[in-house]
A and B are shown apart, each in its own frame.
Chain A
Amino acid sequence: MEQTDLGLWGVPLAILGGAIRVSTPFIFVSLGEAITERSGRINLGLEGVLVFGAMTAYAVAVLTGSPWLGVLAASASGACFGLFHGWICKFPKVNDIAIGIALMLLGSGLAFFFGKPFIQPSAPDLPAIPFGLWSNSSQVQAALNINILFLIGAALAVFLWWAFKNTRAGLIVRVVGDSSDAARAMGINPNTVRLLATAIGSALAAIGGAYLSLYYPGSWNEGISSGQGLMAVALVIFARWNPLGCFAAALLFGGAGALGPALQSVGVTQGYYLFYAAPYILTLLIMIATSSPGRALAGAPGVLSITK
């Protein structure tokens, strides 16, 4: 009994484990949204895309037995939503934020509708790599059981950070995001770039959904998402459109989210609602501390409607 009792060490371990387990959907959605927003559009509908992606991934995994086919199908479905958003927002006077909110309804409505037959069956999980085998503590092993999607997300964050600065595609996205006229002057069609950026962003968000349904918590039902998609979109602003910042914000959010259950499990049982609000309080405090009127929105894409 003594060996299995971690005591207070359970809290930091839970935060570490939680950061890894819970953050992945935030990583994918916020990286996807960062690409979209860098191109000058905001897609607030990623919550709907994420839920639809979760359902698609689960359904395909149940039907084919392959979780990876599920992830593939989810990203394809996400790309479709993204293409739709990107196409409809190219028309003058169509508001991208509002279309996003409507897309949120449509995406989750369709997901709930088509997901009915898949609530009861079990789908195969995505594989994880056991990085904790060196430890003989089962808790450490569990915390360091890291899903491949998390690693892909981390690599993607680094890659995007590098690509925005050093590749032609990254430059094009940034130019389009800063000024449509400058882009046109360079012979770039801003609408095409934004269409692709929204499609790629949505495809990534749908992969975040696939992680929810196929790994953690690894289940499909209508309550699978508790607003991760919406929150992750907000985190992009917090991260100032920097992919590495998105990754860090997602980790912070996941780790702080694990605080509530972990504290209760070691006997800090009162006021748990306030502990559950830790990710939100922490994010808000950091934002207040790091913002100042002078360098208001360094890194903000110039044409983004939400920062005007």
Chain B
Amino acid sequence: MTDRLMFSRRQILKTSAAGAVLGFAPSLLPVRSAFAAGATIGFIYVGPKDDYGYNQAHAEGAAVLKGMEGISIIEEENVPETVDVQKTMESMINLDGATMLFPTSFGYFDPHMLAMCEKFPEIRFRHCGGMWSEGKHPKNAGSYFGYIGQGQYLNGVAAGHATKTKKIGFVAAKPIPQVLLNINSFLLGARSVDPAITCQVIFTGEWSLAVKEAEATNALVDQGADVITCHVDSPKVVVETAAGRGTFICGYHANQSPLAPEKYLTGAEWNWANIYKMYVEKLVAGEELPNFTRGGLADGFVKMSPLGSGVSEAARAQFDGTLAEIMKGGFSVIKGPLNNNKGEVVATEGQAFVETAIELESMDYLVEGVVGSTS
């Protein structure tokens, strides 16, 4: 917080000083010119940047860059996935002199960011979650994402030990690949403890809808689920509601353990700072930036919340063992023989999709044992 305030004061001083010298057009002057070899980097968020969830995780990653020599960070929050985000990107380039942009919501990619990539070939764009592919997308574009499914798998391991009813619950926003992979990973993690466990999923249909998320949590608990996790933008409501009903919780996006220290088992958290630092260091050094970046726990793109007091010794041992396995790389959550919950084969005996498998990013099924439907 203090950092942010300090930064803004510096920025104001800078702008007004330039204004005093140059007269009428201080703000039109790219901020970058104040530095010899610096860069202005823009971050765009789809929601408020302090949502205790998805957007905050990105904003915290961006905040780490603020300490870097010669780097200016500009941020805009609550930008809808319409012409607004295109104009925001253009405005950051035209008025602030940004040379690199991070639009952090999936819906910004196609057509909005791609249109801007074409219009501004010298500006670099890196997008969170998109599927950049060689030949199909421009060179100045790119995408990055973390294998957070690994984190949900570990959540599942902790949940598998904690559940007594053998039923765990998942509050999900929309049936899209990123969410489906998380649901499947959560269940398969739990099934690595006990193959009889099932997972009930409820889709709320929106990324942020507090009352419906609370209702969904209650419905899951009413049906006997005793460990709950979620994939919505702000998990605070789910965590507090589930804890209020006396069930265990696994967190998502960020560490929610202060909300319910006794009930919080662990959580899958983003660690965007590492990705952002990597890009910016390469940018400053004048190196080529990667177009397609992915990484998981081993790469430090994703991390786990510290295990809570509700985690048993046996759970702790299996959790640590699985974590060590994942850290070696090449871990497969989805491996055969495995059916989806409609009885169709998704992986045959011996077939395994390692974390880097691109097929996982277009997942359209829920595995056997998940109660729910993808449409």
Contact = CB atoms under 8 A, between A and B. Distances in A.
Direct touching of A and B (C-beta under 8 Å): yes
A1 interface: yes
B258 interface: yes
Interface string B220-243: 111110000000011011001100
Contact of A219 (B220, B224, B240): B240
Interface in B171-219: 200-205, 208-216, 218-219
Contacts, number: 134
A112 interface: yes
Given A120-B258, A258-B215, 9 more contacts: A4-B165, A10-B223, A216-B214, A218-B214, A224-B210, A261-B212, A261-B218, A261-B219, A265-B222
Contacts of B223: 5-6, 10, 265-266
Contact of A22 (B215, B224, B373): B215
Interface string A151-192: 000000000000000000000000000000000000000000
Contacts of B200: 265
Contacts of A264: 201-203, 216, 219, 372
Interface in A208-226: 212, 216-219, 221-226
Interface residues of A, number: 46
Query: Which of A4, A143, A221, A224 has the largest count of B CB atoms less than 10 A from its CB?
Result: A221
A217 B211 contact: yes
B48 A222 contact: yes
B292 interface: no
A262 interface: yes
Interface of A: 1, 4-6, 10, 13-14, 17-18, 21-22, 112, 116, 119-120, 122, 125, 139, 142-143, 212, 216-219, 221-226, 228, 257-258, 260-262, 264-267, 269-270, 272-273, 276
Given A265-B219, A267-B371, A217 B205 contact: no
Interface in B97-139: none
B253 interface: no
Query: Which of B200, B209, B212, B215 has the largest count of A CB atoms less than 10 A from its CB?
Result: B215
Given A6-B223, A122-B258, A267-B371, A217 B48 contact: no
Interface string B258-293: 110000000000000000000000000000000000
Given A217-B213, A223-B234, A226-B211, A120 B52 contact: yes
B210 A221 contact: yes
B244 A218 contact: yes
Interface residues on B, range: 35 or more
Contacts of B219: 10, 14, 258, 261-262, 264-265
Interface in B40-60: 47-48, 50-52
B51 A6 contact: no
A190 B259 CA distance: 49
Nearest to B51: A221
Nearest to B226: A4
A269 to B, nearest CB: 4
Contacts of B221: 139, 142
B161 interface: no
B375 interface: yes
Nearest to B238: A217
Chain A to chain B: the 6 pairs with minimum beta-carbon distance, closest first? A269-B373, A217-B214, A223-B208, A265-B219, A261-B219, A4-B224
Contacts of A226: 209-212
Nearest to A25: B211
